[in-house]
Structure 1
Amino acid sequence: MKAIVAFFVFLLITACAASTTQVSSSGESADSQLSSLYEREWQWRQNEFGKERDSNGNWVKKASLPDVSHAAQQRRLAYWEKTLTELDAIELDELSAEAAINAEVFRQIVETLANDARYRTYEAPLNSDSFFWSGLHPQNSGFSDVDSYRRYLGRLRDLPRFFAQHSANMRAGMARGYTVPAVSMKGREQSIEAYLLPGSDNPFWIPLEMFPAMMDENQGERLQAEAREVIATQVVPAYTALLKFMREDYLPNARESLAARDLPDGEAFYQSQIHGFTTLDLTAEEIHNTGLREVERLRAEMELILAELDYDGDMAEFFEFLRTDPQFYAKTPDELMGYSAYVAKRMDGKLSEVLGFLPRRRFAINPVPPAIAPIYTGGRGGLNACLMNTYNLAARPLYTLPALTLHECAPGHALQAAIALEAPGEIPDFRAQNYFSGYGEGWGLYTEWLGGEIGIYRTPYERFGQLTYEMWRACRLVIDTGLHQYGWSRDQAIAYLRDNAAMSEHEITTEIDRYISWPGQALAYKLGEMLIREKRAQAEAALGAEFDQRYFHDKILGLRSVPLSVLATELDAWIDAGGPNPYSGIQ
């Protein structure tokens, strides 16, 4: 009997092995075909976007900036179309489970890149708070070696060519009616002015102030002398020409209409942006209606807090009270930064309750740089730091700051990025360095809600601040689709956000201009958060006392950035498996 059992076990093992190692007619397994394809594309893309490997095998920025010409963009489109054809030829049902995830992630990335090139989004390489001329230098640090400084100076020498190509693309966009709406760009060209300053007053000088300790003093002096010359002869003239182009050509001729549907092939373009940012197959109408339902639900929750406070007035009056009472606003930048830092430290004490795996890397909390602060959002987060905006303190309510800190710092973007680097389990480079807005921003918004579950919000006002931020993201579903699909005016969008969220007027107008100039991006947050909360509710119902939020969160973050369709499938499988520790048995 034992022999018979052993024989059938052998047959089963053999069958399973065969199912995961089927090979193509070329003798290459589906997994191998896929990995060859995405590794080849990743290497090519890094080179195209201005990266090369250093002597240690790490990707670093080249001594030149990427080629952004029309010809280069169309060449990239042809490459990505060919890549998608090759992906279609792989027998996807023969892939292993992990390779199947790689395939879905890779397809989403390449389709999005191809769509952007196909619709020529490079002809409008800017929006109301992000510009092709910014982010080209470190904000608060220098480089680790002389070679890095040499490459940096090489990129500065390349700025005139880089800006000229962008300007040529933008002229082509103007000729076919494809520009950023003029109203959303008012005053944005002022962010160029800081780069017209000479020498050490120029932002590009920042890395030249902080050389590594092991660098020879003479080397540093030579680099500084060279940098002064490059800034004077290349950087300042490049930015001077760019500012002239923006003020005299682009801004006066930018389109007056707001809707993405008014652009060339506008409805198809907007749908491509919806899918690219949300990674979901939803129409503008479906998203608009979802937003309306969420706004209604959140309004009811807000009313409960008014009743708790025994506030003698309606919601509009309460909003006005929150917007104008001095108790809700910092008097100095340090007060705002300290408030945010204290939230982050309180969250530190809760991290072991919400995560099983904790990364070693830490983050800073820095102010938004002054050159962009007037037009920037309230905060941003990333691997090394989260930024808090201290410009116009009367527009930065403290009651929303705890939610903002959770989203941008921890357990939101800064912690999320660290876990993506450090979590157990190998993933391909193209996934490790990718970011899907639906996944990443969905997690960020989910952590704002999570703060209420673990006691971060200490007062009814801070809880109302969390609801305000969730309402803000729900309003985005209505406003983004309203603007770009249904032809809303700017005033209509501003009024809708003002009537439903207790945000300052400065924040409201800054945000609306962002949605006008960046179709689809604002949709990712709420849709991603709704999916995560839906799957958490399903897990709690199915697992009962066996549900452990640490493992639920570890499962989400351990996947790194994936399309929301993949996240849903993987969480369903985790629930079906009993909600296990995803790192159990991993060394």
Structure 2
Amino acid sequence: MNNETPATASHPSAQLPTRAKTAIDAVADAYTETLLQLDPGFATELGFPGHETEYRDYSPAGLEALAEATTETLSRLTDLEPADDVDRVTLDAMRERLGLELEIHGTGMNLADLNNLASPAQEIRMIFDLMPTDTADQWAHIAGRLHNIPDALAGYIVSLRAGKDRGLVAAERQIRIVIDQTTKYAEDGGFFDHFVSNASVDGGDLPAQLRQDLVAGSAAARAAYLRLGAFLREELLPVAPSKDAVGREHYALMSRRFLGAVVDLEETYQWGVEELDRVIAEQEAVAHEIKPGASIEEAMKLLDESPELQLQGADALQSWMQQLSDKAVAELAGVHFDIPAIMRTLECKIAPTHEGVIYYTGPSDDFVRPGRMWWSVPEGEDSFTTWKETTTVYHEGVPGHHLQIATATMQRGILNNWRRNAVWVSGHGEGWALYAERLMQELGYLNHPGERLGMLDAQRMRAARVVFDIGVHLELEVPERWGTGTWTPDKGYEFLKRNIAISEGSLDFEFNRYLGWPGQAPSYKIGQRLWEQIRDEVKDREGAAFDLRSFHTRSLNLGSVGLDTLRRALVG
């Protein structure tokens, strides 16, 4: 692993090209500063000091304050003319992103923000995963934030109650899941107990008063999560809709949020069906390579039973992830991608939770905290297969999320802070990471047929998500190959079971995630489709002058923007 750290005398981007700041940059930077003030957790994510003990205001007043700041920012942009191409992209991206968020705010949907993965119920707890724990002062920050969880959750309850009064309530299924999560957070030996009991500095104990403060903070956090669970069970659950499908109007807004692009949902659904068929056919061909005449399932079983492709225990998983990641960085840097030295440190870690998700967190702005790949292993799972997970390491690391996010973070001299740090479009980010998986095959990094089958397995899952997510939420017709009538969650579960080769616990997690977070899961495969379309359009326009490495660098230097903005920036 590359252990280089940034020079203390200057930011690591100091030697990169710079441009003069413009009036549009000033508006974007001011908006980012406002976001940091309104959301201290966002500052923690970026590794910025200050407000380490605080949370954002999750109440309707907090949501309104953000909307007012967003409205004011758009107003300030109205009469500004772009000074260069960077400004043109900023203006395009801010009008699209901020305008859409105001549109969503106007519907009141954010008052009913609750699901099994990405809502305040989890966000308030997950921030502790990113807080440093090396010094007594840092543990004091943690203690302070633990003590502030009751107010944060109280504000969240006020918003959920306001949503209920407007007839906006998450589906019953999601509420039941979050009740279960809050119960586990709050139980004896749960997250907060475990976190605080392991607090130490350099392996030694903390000062007695700080230890007491942490224990008291843990107790306050546990009690607050019990109150949230009681509210969900007693007030929200009785009025929650049993129907999971959100309908076309809601779904169209969420699709735009996650893609930064407007797509024809019916055409995209049909493309998803066809793409799923194409990937299955490719899987069948690879299965025959593994054993002539073998089905996909038989080939996977052979791979699962191969001792050289197995890992036992989370420690072995973490070590394997780190070695594979380090190898990819070392071999790709300077050959297929531009990866400055400061970006070559990527830590692979086992997450402290057991929610079945694999995710990436970006480096701090100064790169002192490196980018990290996290694996949240479901309880009871202790055996892993490398053939299936190789492509996941490329997705989360290099050339996937780490290359993408760290590149934007490095562009201090070119991009304003909003472009570098404050905007994340799932279709752009996840689409790139899925594009990176397929690209690694093209670059010769998936030579073992099992690894190619693993990559195709991931591609198949993402194609199935397009079909499931759009089909279930819009209640479209089931394709003949997969059943009859219109989609329901039960039909969808059986469809996913046939198309996603993961454990039962992970499958349940994914199923509930798609139902509770409409539009997000399809953004991976649709985003990949749009990335590939944009690349091909640029290639057609540039002809013999087209260079793939240069295209990747040019694209990633833009930061995360909506895919319609990306197309306009690169194609025109």
Residues 245/97 of structure 1: CA separation in 2 closer, same or farther (3 Å cut):
same
After superposition, the C-alpha distances for 1:236-256 in whole angstroms (9 at most, x for unaligned) are 322232233334444454321
Q: 1:410 is aligned with what amino acid? A: V
For the 8 Å contact 1:198–1:236, the answer to whether it is kept is: no
State the alpha-carbon separation in 1 of the partners of residues 27 and 141 from structure 2. Answer: 30
Q: 2:451 is aligned with what amino acid? A: E
State the alpha-carbon separation in 2 of the partners of residues 443 and 420 from structure 1. Answer: 13
Tell me what 1:429 maps to: 417
1:376 aligns with 2:356: yes
For the 8 Å contact 2:441–2:452, the answer to whether it is kept is: yes
For the 8 Å contact 1:179–1:255, the answer to whether it is kept is: yes
Q: 2:231 is aligned with what amino acid? A: F
Which of 161, 183, 188 matches 2:173? 183
Tell me what 2:548 maps to: 549
Which residues of 2 match residues 122-137 of structure 1 at below 5 A? Answer: 122-130=110-118, 131-137=122-128
Which residues of 2 match residues 443-462 of structure 1 at below 5 A? Answer: 443-462=432-451
After superposition, the C-alpha distances for 1:137-192 in whole angstroms (9 at most, x for unaligned) are 2357416673x555544333322221112122223333444333233454443433
Q: 1:422 is aligned with what amino acid? A: M
After superposition, the C-alpha distances for 1:389-434 in whole angstroms (9 at most, x for unaligned) are 4334378543220110001122222333222222474211111112
For the 8 Å contact 2:53–2:142, the answer to whether it is kept is: yes
For the 8 Å contact 1:199–1:231, the answer to whether it is kept is: no
Residues 506/149 of structure 1: CA separation in 2 closer, same or farther (3 Å cut):
closer
Residues 279/201 of structure 1: CA separation in 2 closer, same or farther (3 Å cut):
closer
State the alpha-carbon separation in 1 of the partners of residues 267 and 129 from structure 2. Answer: 41
Q: Matched residue of 2:244: which SS?
A: coil
Residues 102/201 of structure 1: CA separation in 2 closer, same or farther (3 Å cut):
closer
Which of 70, 80, 85 matches 2:60? 70
Tell me what 1:367 maps to: 350
Tell me what 1:278 maps to: 259
Tell me what 1:355 maps to: 337
State the alpha-carbon separation in 2 of the partners of residues 124 and 397 from structure 1. Answer: 39
State the alpha-carbon separation in 2 of the partners of residues 132 and 33 from structure 1. Answer: 34
How many angstroms does 1:221 deviate by? Answer: 4.1
Tell me what 2:79 maps to: 90
Which of 204, 209, 212 matches 2:200? 209
For the 8 Å contact 2:290–2:450, the answer to whether it is kept is: no
Q: How many residue pairs get matched? A: 526
State TM-score, norm by structure 2.
0.81
How many angstroms does 1:122 deviate by? Answer: 3.2
Q: 1:360 is aligned with what amino acid? A: I
Residues 66/439 of structure 1: CA separation in 2 closer, same or farther (3 Å cut):
same
For the 8 Å contact 1:142–1:210, the answer to whether it is kept is: yes
Q: Matched residue of 2:50: which SS?
A: strand
Which of 375, 394, 404 matches 2:392? 404
Which residues of 2 match residues 244-283 of structure 1 at below 5 A? Answer: 244-251=230-237, 253-261=239-247, 267-283=248-264
Q: Tell which structure's C-alpha radius of gyration is larger.
A: 1
Q: 1:241 is aligned with what amino acid? A: R
For the 8 Å contact 1:182–1:254, the answer to whether it is kept is: yes
Tell me what 1:531 maps to: 530
State the alpha-carbon separation in 1 of the partners of residues 561 and 201 from structure 2. Answer: 37
State the alpha-carbon separation in 2 of the partners of residues 425 and 236 from structure 1. Answer: 44
For the 8 Å contact 2:258–2:426, the answer to whether it is kept is: yes
1:478 aligns with 2:472: no
- Which residues of structure 2 form unaligned runs of 5+? 1-20, 364-370, 477-486
Which residues of 2 match residues 223-242 of structure 1 at below 5 A? Answer: 223-232=210-219, 234-242=220-228
State the alpha-carbon separation in 1 of the partners of residues 191 and 123 from structure 2. Answer: 22
Residues 332/364 of structure 1: CA separation in 2 closer, same or farther (3 Å cut):
same
Q: What RMSD over aligned residues (CA atoms) do the two structures have, in Å?
A: 3.5
Q: 2:116 is aligned with what amino acid? A: S
After superposition, the C-alpha distances for 1:240-286 in whole angstroms (9 at most, x for unaligned) are 3223333444445432101111xxxxx33221111111000113223
Q: Matched residue of 2:564: which SS?
A: helix
Which of 301, 304, 323 matches 2:285? 304
Residues 536/125 of structure 1: CA separation in 2 closer, same or farther (3 Å cut):
same
Residues 143/254 of structure 1: CA separation in 2 closer, same or farther (3 Å cut):
farther
State the alpha-carbon separation in 1 of the partners of residues 556 and 408 from structure 2. Answer: 7
Moved more, 273-282 or 544-553: 544-553
Tell me what 1:21 maps to: none
For the 8 Å contact 2:192–2:222, the answer to whether it is kept is: no
Identity %: 23
Moved more, 285-294 or 329-338: 329-338
For the 8 Å contact 1:119–1:269, the answer to whether it is kept is: no
How many angstroms does 1:538 deviate by? Answer: 4.4
For the 8 Å contact 1:52–1:60, the answer to whether it is kept is: no
Residues 201/304 of structure 1: CA separation in 2 closer, same or farther (3 Å cut):
closer
Q: 1:489 is aligned with what amino acid? A: T
Residues 126/397 of structure 1: CA separation in 2 closer, same or farther (3 Å cut):
farther
Residues 389/398 of structure 1: CA separation in 2 closer, same or farther (3 Å cut):
farther
Residues 394/58 of structure 1: CA separation in 2 closer, same or farther (3 Å cut):
closer
State the alpha-carbon separation in 1 of the partners of residues 228 and 288 from structure 2. Answer: 54
State the alpha-carbon separation in 2 of the partners of residues 549 and 436 from structure 1. Answer: 23
- Which residues of structure 1 form unaligned runs of 5+? 1-30, 262-266, 574-587
Tell me what 1:166 maps to: 156
Q: 2:55 is aligned with what amino acid? A: L
For the 8 Å contact 1:357–1:423, the answer to whether it is kept is: no
